[in-house]
Every structure is written in C-alpha cells, then in structure tokens.
Amino acid sequence: MYFRAHICKQLGNRGSKNVANWFTSLNLRSISTLPFATIEVEKVSGSQPAEVQNLVQGKWIKSSNWNTIVDPMNGEPFIKVAEVEKSGIQPFVESLSRCPKHGLHNPFKSPERYLMFGDISAKAAHMLAQPEVYNFFARLIQRVAPKSYAQALGEVSVTQKFLENFCGDQVRFLARSFAVPGNHLGQQSNGFRWPYGPVAIITPFNFPLEIPVLQLMGALYMGNKPVLKVDSKVCIVMEQMMRLLHNCGLPMEDVDFINSDGKTMNKLLQEANPRMTLFTGSSKVAEKLALDLKGRIKLEDAGFDWKILGPDVLEMDYVAWVCDQDAYACSGQKCSAQSMLFMHENWNKNSLISKLKDLAARRKLDDLTVGPVLTLTTETMLDHVSKLLKIPGAKLLFGGQELQNHSIPKIYGAIEPTAVFVPLDEMLKDKNYDLVTTEIFGPFQVITEYKNDQLPMVLDALERMHAHLTAAVVSKDPLFLQEVIGNTVNGTTYAGLRARTTGAPQNHWFGPAGDPLGAGIGTPEAIKLVWSCHREIIYDIGPMPQNWGLPSPT
C-alpha cells in the first residue's frame, strides 16, 4: 500500500524490517487502545463504511437521511454521514437558544471555566502528542482529504502545539481586562473581553482538523456556546476529535456538531440567530452569509495569494523549492497557496522556470504529493488553462494535463502541477484581469515577469485584487521590501529571502486584512478579535460631593 511505502520512506533509517514491524504495531495500537475512537482508519471501506453522527444537547444522534461520501482515491463509497434535514434542525435551534447572550462564562460569571479549559487543552495536547494518536488523525486526514503524510502530520502538529499554548492559566489570560482612572474619586473605567453567547462555526474541507479545532477552542475559551459544521466530505475527522475532547473533559453540552447541506445550515443560522458566525470558505458563500446574517459574521474567505521575487537573485534552489511547496503542496488546496508569481526578469534569466518544472515533476500520486482536487473537476481546471492560453503572449510552462493511471472519481479533479505564463501588460487589461485572477483551488498558478520600471504595474495588479489573505516578498533589499509592503494590504505577509505564502502555524496570526469582517486564527489576538467583544464597565461608587445641591436643568 502506497501509504505504508511513504511512511517507510519517512523512517527509512530504521531499516525496512523494523519499519514494517513499527507500522504494524503502531496501526494495531492506534485501533485497539484509543479510548475515544469509534473507527479503524485502515479498515474504512465500501465493505466496512464508517458512520458519522451529530451531537446536540449533549447526545450523539443519527438521522434518517444518510449522505454517502466516496473515497477520493478510487470512488468507492466508504463513509456514511447522518445529515440533518431542514425538518430536523429544531433541537439545534433550542440548544443554542438556551445559551444567554452573556455566554456560558465571562469575567463575572463562572470564572472557574477558564481554568477548566486550560486543563482540557493540556490533556488534549498530551493525547495528540502520542504517536498512536497523531498517526490516527494524520491517516484519517489522508483518507478524506488526500495529501502527503508529512502535510497531514503537519496539520496535526499545529493543532497539538496550539492546544499546548493554551494550557494552565493561558485561557484566563485571554480575558485580561484593564482599568482607567475616572474623573473623580470612586470612578473607574474597566474594559473587559465579553463572549457573544450562542455562536456558529463553518469550516471547509482542506484542513479538516486544524481549522475547526483552533476556531472551536477559541470560541469555547472566551465563553461562547458553538454549533460546529464541517464540510461533509471530511467531517469524520472532527467527529473523532470531538470524542477525544469529551474524553479530555469537555462537557458534552458545550458544543453542538451538525452535519447538513448548505441550505439546511443556512436555515439553522436564520432561525437560531447566533450572535456571531465564523465562516471559512469561498468568497461567494461568504458574501451571501454576510447579507443573510446582517453582518454578524467573521470571514476567512478565499485568497488569491501572490508572491513577488525582487531584483536580487539569491539562493535560487531554495527559493524555487519554496515556490513549488507554496503552489503545489496539498495539490494547491490551501487558502494560502501561491496563485500568482511575479518574478523579476533577473530570475527568468537564471533559469527559475526550468527549476520549477523539475520540482513539479517530482510530485507523484503514489505518495500524495499531488492528488485529488475536491472542489473542481479535471475538465473545469483544464478549461481554465485553455482560456488563459488564448491571451496574447500566454504560454503553458508545464503541466496542463490530466494525471496518468489514476482511479480518482470524475466528480473530483486530477491534473498535473500546472503553470501558465501571462505577460504583465496583458494581465492588466480589463478584458483579461478577472480571468487571470480567478482562483483555481488546485495545483495551478499563473506566472508573469516584470522589469525594474514595471514595479508600479505589479503594485497596480495587487491593488485591484479583492482577496487579501497571504503574500510573500522575496528579497534582501530593505528598500524594495518597504516599497512593496507599504503599498499592499495582505493580512499574513512574509518578507525576506525565505518568504513564503503558505503556512498557518500556531505562533503567528493567520487571516486577511483590509476587511472589517476579516477573521484571524491561532493567536491570542485572533481569538479575542473573533470570539469576544469589548465591554466597558464604569464603576462610580462615590463618595458624593460635599454640600451637593440640585443643579439647574441642562
């Protein structure tokens, strides 16, 4: 099995026999001894389909409506998801309505729950650090959102480190307040972080563990009660993680977990009227939700992410490798994936394109360094390539073909890592710009070239973009970095020789900028911004002024 072969490659220094024994023992332990798991990852198949349930009002429930998920590697039906229909949302509406606007806890109410969540985080972090547990989740991620083992394990690692960051007292530190002296004796103004109360979280398929866990825990830390919906294609990952969190002390009633289609979830949001909704996903859905929910929403939507290579050509091999990782890791299915590369002409003169082509050619289906695209078909992606190639001066740099010898079902996409060159002046023409800057959520990027005097044209192209998530400026020239950073807005921007577009670790803010609805993830600042609001309490206890008398009306 190619998964075993890849892990053996990762651990090859142990010797093939030892690796095989390790894999067997690890697999058995990950199945037989995990106190929370209800599935055996390696056995999930058409003959032994897994089932995903819903959680509401503290109970796991099934549904009369089952949505069958097919294996993205071979099209075999292998997961049954109990999806709630519109007629079945009332228990979820009632559950959210029981949570008051002031939340399950706040600085004045049930403060011991801050400590409880510090303990839950510590236990969950410890459990996720165990080899049998992180292998369980990495392999489960691979089954539903195929990516290399290293990429899947990276997602588990970020989640584990995030939980470590909020152990002990760190949760209550999120609710740190401040005080300002008043105008007279006995008056003092205090600022507090306050929960919203009933909230909703909607997350996509591409990071089935990291995104929902980080946002869910942030919501809980601040005192909210969430209802969580994860894309049905990958919801089994978070269902198993919910069971792990319950095993670590999370009260069953604190979170509702729903599986449904988009229309049902939209009806739930409108009837339950959560005070805040976090949505991570496509811009089109985000815009609809913003209207439906009257702006009570935070968004981390699509990102058409760019990278600029400055005039100073340094460390060519390293920069080329980062470009390849940014564009094609996880088959380009990252909201931070490199969608457009602006290279100074000096890089083209030094054979950057040939290096990118060689790096892309290393990616294979057998180790999932390239794999199924879960939101676009092969035909759709190749049709986009064809449209771009009709632009004067455009050319196919590499890729542009369907993967060979695969069994990926036709409802998904399967193309080689692809790059299309489009001249900068043609890109900026009104008739071409929207097409060139259309995000293709797969292993695809647009590459262009600029000269020294064309940097203003590059900055104009960036100004006209509407999604400002991640960006990278690759240069050691501080004046060049200053020029580009000062004239752009992307919320997570890497700058310097090692700059990248991808990467949402737990140690820095990840999210868009330039939008008042923009949401962040991972850091204390992100949690406080998304999952709490400011409340000001002004104490004014006296004493009363001596000889006070009734003043004239004003």
Q: Which residues are catalytic?
A: 300, 335
Q: In the beta sheet, which residues pair with residue 50?
A: 79
**Structure tokens of 506?**
């737990």
Can you tell me whether residue 322 is helix, strand or coil? helix
Give the span between the Cα atoms of 358 and 493, in whole angstroms: 27
Q: What are the distances in angstroms from CA 408 to CA 367, 372, 413, 506?
A: 14, 7, 8, 33
Across the chain, how many H-helices and E-strands are there?
A: 20, 20
543 prior amide bond cis, ω within 30: yes
- At residue 440, what is the residue type? I
DSSP letters spanning 340-381 = EEEEEHHHHHTTHHHHHHHHHHT--GGGTSS--BSSS-HHHH
**Structure tokens of 217?**
């825990």
Q: What are the distances in angstroms from CA 486 to CA 121, 479, 499?
A: 38, 10, 16
**Structure tokens of 449?**
């070239």
- Determine contact, residues 365/378, Cβ cutoff 8 Å: no
Which strands sit side by side in the sheet containing 178-181, from one edge to the other? 178-181, 187-194, 533-540
Please state, as a whole number, how many other Cβ atoms lie within 10 Å of the Cβ of residue 332. Answer: 26
- Determine contact, residues 37/29, Cβ cutoff 8 Å: no
**Residue carrying structure tokens 């590059």:** 458
Can you tell me whether residue 135 is helix, strand or coil? helix
Measure the CA angle with vertex 247, ends 243 and 253; round to 5°: 70
Positive/negative CA dihedral, 373, 374, 376, 379? positive
